[in-house]
Structure 1
């Protein structure tokens, strides 16, 4: 299961997306999760009127959670978030 929550912005609206990986696509989701630098130090905070992203991922072997300012949502983080948003139910 992967959950993404976006908060902040000018209107302060909270949006959320999630996906439950099936047996057919679990390897693809785990690969997206593993590419993200979960343990890397993050720079700065969200800033005024900027989005914050909360990402939670649960695999059979581990559970990960990370909060990122919009400015840090790049590379593998953006790929994961965009995939979850596209597949969200």
Structure 2
């Protein structure tokens, strides 16, 4: 296969993965009542038990942030986005 085709396949797979992640993130934010600004930080759930525990712990933290009163919530969301990326 030529390198251009290989790159096209990799880019398509990456785009599909991001679409899946974004759809999952929207569902999690809606289901858990999270602040919508946290959506870019919600990853796909991991397969391994050890990583699954960290994933669940992160969701608990996002729930706690979402329950904060303003302006503390906005500050916490901003700090997370600055530290871990995810847009904005």
TM-score, normalised relative to structure 1: 0.32
TM-score, normalised relative to structure 2: 0.32
Q: Which has the higher helix share?
A: 2
Q: Which has the higher strand share?
A: 1
Structure of greater relative contact order (alpha carbons < 8 Å, 6+ residues apart):
1
